[in-house]
A and B are shown apart, each in its own frame.
Chain A
Amino acid sequence: MPDAAIAHSPLFTNLSPDECRIVSEMMTASCYESGEAIITEGKETSSLYLLSHGTCRVRKHMGNGADQDLDTLEAGAVFGEISFFCPGPHSATVVAETRATILSLSREQFHELQRERPTAALKITLHATATLARRLRRMDEWTCALVEKGTAPEKHTEWHEFRAQLYSNWNF
């Protein structure tokens, strides 16, 4: 059985103790120092990653040349699922913020799991789908906020606050 941090990972929540053991045995553990990239935007790998210890940052290179932090991952978080299920370059970079231990499951191992323990593989797929769905929902919210910001009728917030103050409390 893997350590407690992994056991509490949502990835394993619905797995039976036996499935849990098999999956964790399939996974490879690697250590990363703070600042080291685990996956790099634009590069391709074919594994699913589970953050076992430490904290990581998800970072994206923006059109204006700056790097934008998108998220912070804590122990138990799963990442790399986009390239895992849809082979292609990573959409963002994940960098270890602290010293971090990562468990990875390669696509080949996952195919093996599908053959050997299809229920466990389905549970992992469902979990990864839920993660993707959550991220898609958050992306929708960001898109809406960006659209609102870009097309809002009034961009001059300060001017409007000024107007509101002068016409409410201070209009004698």
Chain B
Amino acid sequence: MSSYEDASRYFHQAAGIMGLSKNMQKLLLTPEREMKVQIALERDNGEISTFIGYRIQHNSARGPMKGGLRFHHEVDEDEVLGLATLMTWKTAVVNIPYGGAKGGISVNVKELTQGEKDRLTRKFVDVIHDMVGPDKDIPAPDMGTNAQVMAWFMNQYSKFHGFNPACVTGKPVELHGSEGREEATGRGVVTLTERLLNKARREITETTFAIQGFGNVGSHAARRLAELGGKVVAVSDVSGGIWNPEGLDIPKLLDYASETGSISNFPGTDAIDNDGLLTADVDVLIPAALGGVITSDNAAEIRAKYIIEAANAPVTPEADEIFAHKNVIVLPDILANAGGVTVSYFEWVQNRQHFKWDVNRVRDELHRIMSDSFDKVWQIAEEKDISLRLAAYLLGIGRVGRATVLGGI
């Protein structure tokens, strides 16, 4: 099953419930523009490498398109298209004035030196700068890219179009980035989790959590959960997982991870593997790393009652059905990890106003948007007696559809 098929499966389910005709489904699902480019790069050792880059703009009915730019060896057209459509529904679910896009370069980023990464980014900007921009399409960091890559992007873009920091988000705070951008996805995840537990009449202080992934999303989610008194008992990263049923000391773990570069062998914990983490005896499981980690093979073994899709598509559609039968509540990615794009939006707003918000304002606005979006999705799910995922899609598709109707074709 391809990424795009997976992504469109939920769309078709929701569109079916809404009774949208085949032609209207096609209208909403067909991308507006797909760009595939060659990027030739002279390596530091004198060799010439050729990479393929993509930028797929799915829908601009609600505003300029928005979506990450990933550097990863598995990037292909199908994956980028699937993720671009997800961005359209995601920006609509949280009601920020954007459409959806995604891009990437098929490259093993670990094999690139810092200088090569810089040149690769700039060469990519050279070939796509006309189709992106603050009013067209605004990239952001994703897998394999970070604030530094966004800074190069902005710098190169400004050589063609003049100073315009709003052409990209997720920039370094020192270079027109926003306070609170890095923590945004993790923080949003926790706001939503809190809201979900509240609906289930559970206290966060009496709830246990397992988090897969301790990067930009997982580590910030862990930090915020710990601040609120939640008991994080297991976390994992690429090096493996750690487990302590009494709860991990998250502030110490964060220091340890930044010192050693990994979480493994953190004192006072037992080692577990990734499967062990996913099936750990916890109340809430937060997959915050890769897509497709929870499948029909392991879904039945999962003991958590709540799954928060902090990563994009960590639960496959087959696993999703199993959870529906087991009454496991899945908070879908298009809502769960929308904190990142929401603070990207704040960054864009600040750049356009040339006015910097302090971190508290960013956090307050993020909290407001995440809470409102959750409440809306929850209300739809209850009214229509459907899953949170379908409810989120109904909300997103409805908003994009109405924008399309109002704007005309």
Contacts and interface: CB of A to CB of B under 8 A. Distances in A.
A162 B23 CA distance: 10
Contact of B21 (A158, A166, A167, A169): A158
A172 B398 contact: yes
B304 to A, nearest CB: 29
A170 B18 contact: yes
Contact of B402 (A161, A167, A169): A167
Contacts of A167: 402, 405
Interface residues of A, number: 12
Contacts of B327: none
Q: Which of A158, A169, A172 has the most CB of B within 10 A?
A: A172
Provide the main secondary structure of the chain A interface: helix
A171 interface: yes
A115 interface: no
Interface string B378-394: 01100000000000001
Contacts of A162: 20-21, 24, 401, 405
B376 interface: yes
A165 B376 CA distance: 19
B163 to A, nearest CB: 40
Contacts of B402: 166-167, 171
Contacts of A159: 405, 409
B19 interface: yes
Contacts of A171: 398, 402
B395 interface: yes
A171 B379 CA distance: 12
Interface of B: 18-21, 23-24, 376, 379-380, 394-395, 397-398, 401-402, 405, 409
Shortest 4 CB-CB contacts between residues of A and residues of B: A170-B398, A166-B401, A163-B405, A162-B24
21 contacts: A158-B21, A158-B23, A158-B24, A161-B21, A162-B20, A162-B24, A162-B401, A162-B405, A165-B20, A166-B402, A166-B405, A167-B402, A167-B405, A170-B18, A170-B398, A171-B398, A172-B379, A172-B380, A172-B394, A172-B395, A172-B398
